[in-house]
Amino acid sequence: MTALLHMLSYAFMRKALIVGVLVSLCAALLGVSLVLKRYSMIGDGLSHVGFGALAIASAFHLAPLAVTVPVVALAAVLLLRLSQNRKINGDAAIALVSSSALAIGVLSVSLTTGMNTEVSSYMFGSILSLSRADAVLSLLLSAAVLLLFIAFYPRLFAVTFDESFSRATGVRTGAYDTLLAVLTAVTVVLGMRMMGALLISSLIIFPALSAMRLCRSFKGVVCCAAGLSVGCFLIGVTGSYFLETPTGASIVAVDLVAFLICLLAGKK
Amino acid sequence: MALIECKDASFAYEGVSVLEGVDFSLNAGDYLCIVGENGSGKSTLVKGLLGLKKPESGQILYGDGLKSTEIGYLPQQTMVQRDFPASVYEVVLSGCLNSLGRRLRYGPAERERAESNLERLGIEDLRDKSYQALSGGQQQRVLLARALCATKKLLLLDEPVTGLDPIATGEMYNLIKLINLCDDITVIMVSHDLHEAVRYATHILHLGRRQLFFGTSAAYRESSLARRFLGRDRI
Ligand SMILES: Nc1ncnc2c1ncn2[C@@H]1O[C@H](COP(=O)(O)OP(=O)(O)OP(=O)(O)O)[C@@H](O)[C@H]1O
Ligand SMILES: [Mg+2]
């Protein structure tokens, strides 16, 4: 107990916990829609684009979030179009875009600053990397993502469940797809600082998959995923603090354990 | 002005024409049955009327101030994934989405509408069940309830009785006719059951990769086409 209080006495831990809880919530909520729409790959692709953008921003000494958020949002809209296009192979196109972005990021880093700790923190995540301005921006953005998700919940459900019915009955499905993509982009970038580019997509996918094992209604799955995500985050962060393991990997490990438990506990 | 007008429309997939020369118009309150063999272009035309598929040539016009938010639709096949978590009530309620306008949440009016359509289709007891765990016929009824929630002026049904048992099929035809007459809703239905089609519908559109017949049910009964498809004995 005193150890926990001691952990909370660090300002950087408090900052990381608040931002992390909000980002975990966003990731879980959006994750349900993304997994159900078979867009899981987009989250993964975006994290690589995010890494590329962050690397370039740091090479040119630009503000990391201010550069990355718009770039990744743009990439999200592009990847969404790619995956919806029937004429080209969407999966392959996403893989191409994401590995190219990763390559450009790695090149721009090695040509300028070299592989330093800052860059590796983008790859594998670090709770120490959050500056004060970043933390405030993260808070505002994740609060906005949460509010927008809750506000458009009925529409996001309808569009996720049956897109062509929604379109036929006069719902502007394209707009909500774009909204989903942009919200995901923001969440991926925010989560990347903590989780790392290589691990952020699991924050989106695991809670949704676990919750789908337990609940049968959409609302149930959304609530359950949100709870699981925040719970796993808190356990993972605390564990990583005491065991001195990397934050992102610890959180993913907890998510994996939770998923396996849900797999066993779930029906069938 | 007619509610819906199709002016010499044709449809193609990847440049290959599948349906040509569709030319008809419907007034508010009409009940149109689209008939034809498998692959004759019925579902394609329905998608065209809904704006899901652009005609290759020709025009499809909405009149009488018809907006797409006043249309209900029952697809022939849904792309809903096998493991999609959704309760029956959530699915039916989502049909009310197009009446929200600028509002963000469903209000009491929408909830009531969803409940009453659950009742109409006799699936109140499935309300909290998982949609994916239902039988094919039960799923069909849920999607019909959703279509009814979305309908204000026009209802498009692509083979609504597929998978329903004989009693439910009869009830379904009666219910659709009732909605057509009492709620004054225009109905466009795709059906393979020609006998029921001429009995319930006011108009028939017979397709076979092009428009073979359009007219009233009475005129259709007299046509040589109908004689061939219906069989002489039943007329
Ligand atoms: N997505 C598609 N891509 C290419 N061709 C298609 C597509 N959908 C339908 N077709 C073709 O268009 C033609 C008409 O199809 P449609 O689905 O409209 O038939 P239908 O009258 O509804 O048949 P059914 O009674 O089996 O439902 C068919 O020959 C089919 O091969
Ligand atoms: Mg069809």
Among protein residues, the one whose CA lies closest to atom 24 of ligand 1: B38
Q: What's the pLDDT score for residue A80?
A: 83
Report the chain B residue with the minimal C-alpha distance to residue A212: B85
How crowded is residue A214: how many other Cβ atoms within 10 Å of its Cβ?
18
Domain span including residue A56: 2-266
What are the phi and psi torsion angles at B189 (to 5°)? -130, 135
Q: Domains of chain B: which residue ranges? A: 1-71+153-235, 77-150
Q: Comparing C-alpha atoms, which of B191, B195, B187 is closest to residue B164?
A: B191
* A169/B52 touch (CB, cutoff 8 Å), yes or no: no
The DSSP symbol for B31 reads E
Residues in chain A closer than 8 A to B128 (CB atoms): 217
Q: Which of B60, B70, B91, B94 to mutate to test the interface with A (most CBs of A within 10 A)?
A: B94
Amino acid at site B176: I
Reading chain B (235 residues) residue by residue, the pLDDT tens digits are 789 999 999 999 988 999 999 999 999 999 999 999 899 999 999 999 999 999 999 999 998 888 889 999 999 877 677 788 999 999 999 999 988 888 999 999 999 999 999 998 889 999 999 998 888 888 989 999 999 999 999 999 999 988 888 988 998 899 899 999 988 999 999 998 888 888 899 999 999 889 999 999 989 888 887 777 766 544 4
Considering only CB atoms, B98 lies closest to which of A151, A171, A219, namely A171
Does the model's pTM come out above 0.90?
A: no
pLDDT exceeds 60 at position A116: yes
The DSSP symbol for B87 reads B
Considering only CB atoms, A168 lies closest to which of B52, B80, B81, namely B52
In angstroms, the Cα distances linking A85 to A95, A159, A176 are: 15, 17, 17
Report the chain B residue with the minimal C-alpha distance to residue A217: B86
Q: Which of B47, B49, B52, B90 to mutate to test the interface with A (most CBs of A within 10 A)?
A: B90
Atom of ligand 1 nearest to the CA of B190: 22
Residue B209 CB contacts under 8 Å (≥ 6 apart), including other chains:
B18, B19, B20, B40, B41
Q: What's the pLDDT score for residue B65?
A: 85
Q: What is the pLDDT of residues A35-50, one digit of tens each?
A: 988 788 888 889 999 9
Residue A237 to residue A226: CA distance in whole angstroms = 17
Mean pLDDT of A167-180: 89
Q: How far is the CA of B35 from the centre of ligand 2 (A)?
A: 10
- The ipTM is 0.87
The answer to whether B53 and B8 are in contact (CB under 8 A) is no
Q: How far is the CA of B206 from the centre of ligand 1 (A)?
A: 15
Domain containing residue A197: CATH number: 1.10.3470.10
Average pLDDT over all residues of chain A: 87
Chain A contact for B98 (CB, 8 A cutoff): yes
What are the phi and psi torsion angles at B223 (to 5°)? -75, 160
Q: What's the pLDDT score for residue A129?
A: 66
The answer to whether B106 and B100 are in contact (CB under 8 A) is yes
How crowded is residue B172: how many other Cβ atoms within 10 Å of its Cβ?
19
Ligand 1 probe mutation, B40, B74, B161, most atoms within 8 A of CB: B40
Mean pLDDT of A207-223: 93
Those residues whose beta carbon sits under 5 angstroms from the ion ligand 2 are B 42-43, 76
CATH superfamily of B1-71+153-235: P-loop containing nucleotide triphosphate hydrolases (3.40.50.300)
* B128/A165 touch (CB, cutoff 8 Å), yes or no: no
Residue B34 to residue B160: CA distance in whole angstroms = 12
Residue A153 to residue A209: CA distance in whole angstroms = 19
Q: How many domains does chain A have?
A: 1
